[in-house]
Structure 1
């Protein structure tokens, strides 16, 4: 049941009496992985986002020193994926359902005495929902610290491994995700079906982009016929191993920082 997560760090394996007796619960770090079940082109399985988040968190928790109390909650596999719903297999929650689910999970752990919750998101279509949930929960419970974080926000070495075009435009099922999946779940990858497809770029000089400071709303069908936005044909397990190691190391530091975090108070 724990998948990539070390069993001693998997919250559901605890008993209620162990949770009740846990010392210094206000500083124990709980991590809620959030992924998606959505199309990732003809070569990758639907579980990509959830698998990457789980693998990164699992390796980070393996490397984390035992003196830092941190546990993984069960992953939430479904997310807000309606930008992909023109492609069969995508399963999506509404923003309202995802917001309610996150909020009710958070309130449950708060009721048990925990005060630090990381929302570890690995799907690019839902960071805004997590940010709204985190802010509203903190407004409701001022002593509750919520961290709405994206897997790829931790330090990593993608710039050393990917082409400039891929770094700019390879946002879905491209080199990075395919390389990670070749390292994580190689038997589920259909590399013979991998194709490269980049979205049309905006006119020269335009400030608008599909992602960034001045984005516009889009669905995947607007940008890609295959569901791929990037170039997976250059992916390799070796790149995936290096990406995974760097992301995990970054997340070790993230968890340490959350454990040491003290909420700012305006005097």
Structure 2
């Protein structure tokens, strides 16, 4: 049931008496991985985002100092994935449903006495949902520190392993995600079906972009026929192993810092 998570770090394996007796509960770090079940091209399974979140978190928790209390909740597999719903197999929640789920989950964690919750989101289509829910939880509970974090935003070396074009334009199911899946779930990767497909280029003098400071709203079928936005053909397990080590190292740093974080006194 714990998947990649070390069993001693898996929150559901605790009993209610374990939680009631837990000391320093206000600084225990509770981590909610949030993924998605959505298309990732013809070569990757629907579970990519959820698998990456659990894989990275499990590796990080295994490396984390034993005296830092941090626990993973079960992955929230479904997310807001309607940008991919033209591709069969994608399952999506609405913004309202995902927000309500995060809010009610936060209510339960707070009621149990915890005061630090990390929303570890691995799906690029929903960071804003995490940010708004986190803000609303903190407004509701003034002493609740909620951290809406994106799995790929910690320090890591991934871009150093990619071509300049992939580093700039690869957004979905490309080299990085495919390499990481080769490290985590290699038997689920069909590398012989990998393709390279990039979105249509914007004019050189355009201020707009598909992703960036001034984006335009899009759904995947607008910019990709295969569902891939990037180059999956250059992926390797060796790169995936290095990405996993680097991103999980970044998460060790972040979890450690959150444990020591003390919110300002209001």
TM-score (norm 2): 0.99
Provide the C-alpha distance between the structure 1 equivalents of 2:157 and 2:201, rounded to a whole number of angstroms.
25
Q: Deviations over 1:37-74 (max 9, x none)?
A: 00000000000000000000000000000110000001
Provide the C-alpha distance between the structure 2 equivalents of 1:188 and 1:37, rounded to a whole number of angstroms.
14
Question: Who is 1:222 aligned against?
Answer: 222
Question: Who is 1:21 aligned against?
Answer: 21
Q: Unpaired runs of 5+ in structure 2?
A: none
Q: Deviations over 1:137-187 (max 9, x none)?
A: 101100000000000000110121001110111100000000000010000
Provide the C-alpha distance between the structure 2 equivalents of 1:174 and 1:115, rounded to a whole number of angstroms.
37
Provide the C-alpha distance between the structure 2 equivalents of 1:201 and 1:214, rounded to a whole number of angstroms.
15
Q: Does 1:49 align with 2:49?
A: yes
Provide the C-alpha distance between the structure 1 equivalents of 2:169 and 2:103, rounded to a whole number of angstroms.
33
Question: Who is 2:6 aligned against?
Answer: 6
Provide the C-alpha distance between the structure 2 equivalents of 1:159 and 1:55, rounded to a whole number of angstroms.
19
What secondary structure is seen at the aligned counterpart in 2 of 1:242?
helix
Question: Who is 1:98 aligned against?
Answer: 98
What secondary structure is seen at the aligned counterpart in 2 of 1:221?
helix
* Residue 204 of structure 1, CA deviation: 1.1
What secondary structure is seen at the aligned counterpart in 2 of 1:233?
coil
Provide the C-alpha distance between the structure 1 equivalents of 2:228 and 2:160, rounded to a whole number of angstroms.
22
Q: Unpaired runs of 5+ in structure 1?
A: none
* Residue 265 of structure 1, CA deviation: 3.3
- Number of equivalences: 266
Provide the C-alpha distance between the structure 1 equivalents of 2:82 and 2:207, rounded to a whole number of angstroms.
26
Displaced runs of 4 or more, over 6 A: none
Q: Does 1:175 align with 2:151?
A: no
Question: Who is 2:136 aligned against?
Answer: 136
The aligned runs of 1:144-163 (5 Å cut-off) are 144-163=144-163
Provide the C-alpha distance between the structure 2 equivalents of 1:171 and 1:164, rounded to a whole number of angstroms.
13
What secondary structure is seen at the aligned counterpart in 1 of 2:43?
coil
Provide the C-alpha distance between the structure 1 equivalents of 2:69 and 2:81, rounded to a whole number of angstroms.
32
Provide the C-alpha distance between the structure 2 equivalents of 1:245 and 1:197, rounded to a whole number of angstroms.
27
